[in-house]
């Protein structure tokens, strides 16, 4: 086991899916505490949900885990954040072979920057291997049902978000037609 038994699970979590939840729950079998670290890049962020919305959704999903699961945001290099948190392990989920190449490159760069920082790869659960945040957003935006792929609170937020976008688009089309 890791020295202080804290793992960092980084990502955008835009939004968190049941695949993410499954990975966290399984990681808790090995580590005492997990920090879900939501990466931010103010100059490049094109997330559907604001940072605060993502933090709220993640915290709501894991509220029953007491202090074992935390959600925070970070900016800059993941290795520096992990060092500040005194974590020695980064958790990364793999859905398919195609994920491995990118994740392997990132793990090697992180190891180059901080040799004592380890990356643990975990396979996504078999029922979630095809689920991604990007795909969930796309399906909902087209009117599809993603029940069972995201936590209930996230499903509600997704539906609300896309209803608002539909209303805004309708308003914009109305303005364009009158001009």
Peptide bond into 15 cis (omega under 30): yes
Q: Which of 20, 33, 54, 137 is catalytic?
A: 20
CA distance 48 to 26: 27
Half-sphere exposure of 85 (CA within 13 A, CB side): 27
Q: Which residues lie below 8 Å from residue 129, measured CB to CB, with a gap of 6+?
A: 19, 95, 96, 123
Q: Residue 105: which H helix or E strand, with range?
A: helix 97-113
Q: Is 133 a catalytic residue?
A: yes
Q: Is 111 a catalytic residue?
A: no
Q: Which of 26, 59, 73, 95 is catalytic?
A: 95
End-to-end CA distance of the chain: 65
Q: Which residues are catalytic?
A: 20, 44, 95, 133
């Amino acid at each position: 086991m890791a020295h202080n038994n804290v793992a960092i699970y980084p990502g955008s979590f835009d939004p968190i899916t049941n695949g993410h939840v499954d990975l966290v729950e399984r990681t808790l079998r090995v580590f005492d505490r997990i920090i879900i670290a939501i990466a931010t890049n103010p100059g490049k962020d094109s997330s559907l949900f604001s940072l605060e919305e993502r933090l709220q959704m993640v915290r709501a999903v894991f509220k029953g885990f007491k202090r074992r699961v935390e959600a925070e945001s970070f900016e800059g290099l993941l290795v520096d954040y992990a060092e500040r948190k005194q974590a020695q392990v980064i958790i990364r989920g793999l859905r398919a072979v195609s994920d491995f190449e990118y994740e392997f490159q990132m793990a090697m760069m992180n190891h180059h920057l901080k040799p004592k920082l380890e990356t643990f790869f975990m396979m996504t659960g078999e029922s979630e291997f095809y689920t991604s945040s990007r795909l969930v957003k796309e399906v909902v935006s087209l009117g599809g049902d993603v029940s069972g792929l995201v936590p209930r609170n996230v499903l509600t937020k997704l539906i609300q978000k896309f209803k608002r976008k539909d209303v805004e688009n309708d308003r914009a089309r109305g303005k364009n037609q009158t001009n």
